[in-house]
């Protein structure tokens, strides 16, 4: 067997080696963690990834620039257009394409809608892992409305392939702004329910408070980002640090929590949803109803030789892409910096010393999506 498997330590007969996954329903896909268990306590943990590896980065080297956008969608399949944006921004920078102001705002509306959709999926599945089934049904109900709005404009629900160099592929549906405003009213009512069901539930408190504490130094050293990093008290958000698209025009806060435990990560995601609603409300006011939705991009896309790194703050953290161009119509190299992939690296730190049932709660608070981790 491979060297990454745990070998029993001679003389330690009380340690049991257990395989969690890859078909475990609480691992959010195909994560396999080999655990050394001493009773209920985890003594060692080795995560194994790669069961969903589809060779994205190599395939993208053999495709022209517009084709790659369709492939980036397939990484983090829960958060749709958010994956397209770093690649689109990087290539726009290299080409020097001007993006109309309205196109930037439409892009940001979709970006935040998908953040809400992704956090709703997280909330449902996290509560499912903790043993509550109803929140899962409710959050998917609300997510269905978001996906319906997206489908009306972009033509697909989860993998829309909607952004393009210089803007978006087609103008929004005439009902789009009304639909989003209606959904935000609906969502604000629902957030009250979710707060009662999730954040104020004594069961959630008992299962998550003080569990899986990630201190600030270790969070920074391990390179985690997104809500996991902000729950450890570091106020780093790509939207504020390196603003892109319409984020300089809107006001929002970065919620942080000093605790660093699983409950803090739940709490930060909740506050992010409130901030998303706030951003969307402002953007609905700011976006003109008609106008250009696409700038002038050259028909033959051949960026000059060079490289460019652009990052966005997606639902899981800093999603970056490094595009290296050799002057031809195909990228020489596309390297994705996955947020969920980087956040998964703290599993051995957080699992060791925790109880087995806490491991499930910790994993759900990291919100991994294996399409992006294994790529």
Partner 1 sequence: MSLLQEVWQAVKAIGTGMATVHKRVYEEAPTEFYPYVKPELPPVSVQSLALVENEDGSERCIVCLQCERACPAQVITIERHRNPEGKGFLIDRFDIDLVNCMYCAACVEACPVSSIVTIQDFEMSTYDLQTLKADIDFLHEQARRARQWYSPKFGVELRTDDGRIEKAPPEMQPGGLAEILKPAEEVDS
Residues that bind partner 1 (CB under 8 A): 63, 66-68, 70-71, 73-74, 134, 138, 141, 144-145, 148, 151-156, 159, 161, 169-174, 176, 193, 196-197, 200-203, 293
Q: What is the DSSP letter of 294?
A: B
- Nearest approach in angstroms of CB 54 to partner 1 is 12
Q: How far is the CB of 146 from partner 1 (least distance, A)?
A: 10
Interhelix angle 356-366/101-129, rounded to 10 degrees, is 170
Which is nearer to partner 1, 41 or 157 (by Cβ)? 157
Eight-state DSSP code of residue 199? I
- CB closer to partner 1, 100 vs 255: 100
- Please tell me the number of Cα atoms within 13 Å of 118 on its side-chain side: 29
- With tokens 């929140």, the residue in question is 135
Only one residue has tokens 């969502």, namely: 187
Q: Of 142 and 358, which has the nearer Cβ to partner 1? A: 142
Q: How far is the CB of 343 from partner 1 (least distance, A)?
A: 27
As measured in angstroms, the least distance from the Cβ of 56 to partner 1 is 12
Contact 126, 367 (CB under 8 A): yes
Q: Which two tokens stand for residue 281?
A: 């409300």
Exposure of 251 by Cβ count < 10 A (0-12 exposed, 13-18 middle, 19+ buried)? Answer: exposed
Q: How far is the CB of 216 from partner 1 (least distance, A)?
A: 30
Closest CB to partner 1 among residues 230, 375: 375
Shortest Cβ 339–partner 1 spacing (Å): 23
Q: Which residue number, 7 or 300, has a Cβ lying nearer to partner 1? A: 300
Smallest distance from partner 1 to CB 73, Å: 8
Judged by CB, which is closer to partner 1: 193, or 217? 193
Alpha helices (H) in 216-369, listed in sequence order: 216-221, 227-230, 238-241, 262-286, 339-344, 347-351, 356-366
Residue 32 to residue 250: CA distance in whole angstroms: 41
Is 152 or 335 the residue whose CB approaches partner 1 more closely? 152
Neighbouring C-beta atoms of residue 218, cutoff 10 Å? 15
- Report the alpha-carbon distance of residue 37 to residue 352 in Å, rounded: 10
């Amino acid at each position: 067997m491979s060297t990454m498997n745990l070998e029993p330590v001679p003389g330690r007969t009380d340690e049991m080696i257990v395989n969690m996954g890859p078909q475990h329903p609480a691992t959010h896909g195909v994560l396999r963690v080999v655990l050394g268990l001493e009773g209920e306590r985890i003594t060692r943990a080795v995560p194994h990834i790669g069961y969903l590896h589809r060779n994205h980065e190599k395939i993208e080297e053999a495709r022209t620039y517009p084709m790659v956008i369709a492939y980036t969608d397939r990484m983090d399949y829960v958060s749709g257009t958010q994956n397209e944006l770093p690649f689109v921004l990087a290539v726009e920078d290299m080409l020097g394409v001007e993006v109309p102001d309205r196109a930037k705002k439409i892009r940001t509306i979709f970006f935040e809608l998908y953040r809400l959709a992704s956090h709703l999926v997280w909330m449902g599945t996290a509560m499912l892992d903790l043993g509550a089934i109803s929140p899962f049904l409710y959050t998917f109900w609300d997510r269905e409305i978001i996906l319906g709005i997206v489908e009306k404009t972009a033509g697909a629900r989860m993998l829309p392939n909607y952004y393009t160099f210089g803007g978006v592929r087609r103008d929004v549906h005439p009902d789009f702004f009304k639909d989003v405003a209606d959904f935000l009213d609906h969502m604000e009512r629902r957030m009250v329910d979710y707060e009662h069901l999730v954040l104020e539930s004594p069961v959630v408190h008992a299962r998550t408070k003080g569990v899986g504490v990630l201190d600030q130094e270790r969070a920074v050293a391990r390179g985690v980002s997104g809500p996991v990093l902000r729950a450890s008290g570091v106020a780093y958000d790509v939207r504020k640090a390196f603003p892109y698209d319409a984020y300089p025009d809107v006001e929002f806060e970065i919620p942080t929590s000093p605790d660093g435990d699983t409950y803090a990560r739940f709490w930060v995601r909740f506050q992010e949803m409130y901030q998303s609603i706030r951003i969307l409300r402002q953007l609905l006011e700011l976006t003109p109803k008609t106008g250009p939705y696409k700038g002038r991009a050259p028909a033959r896309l051949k960026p000059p030789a060079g490289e460019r790194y652009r990052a966005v703050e997606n639902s899981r953290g800093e999603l970056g892409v490094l595009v290296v161009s050799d002057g031809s119509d195909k990228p020489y190299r596309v390297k994705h910096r996955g947020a969920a992939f980087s956040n998964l690296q703290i599993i051995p730190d957080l699992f060791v010393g925790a109880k087995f049932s806490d491991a499930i709660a910790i994993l759900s608070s990291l919100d991994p999506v294996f399409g992006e981790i294994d790529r």
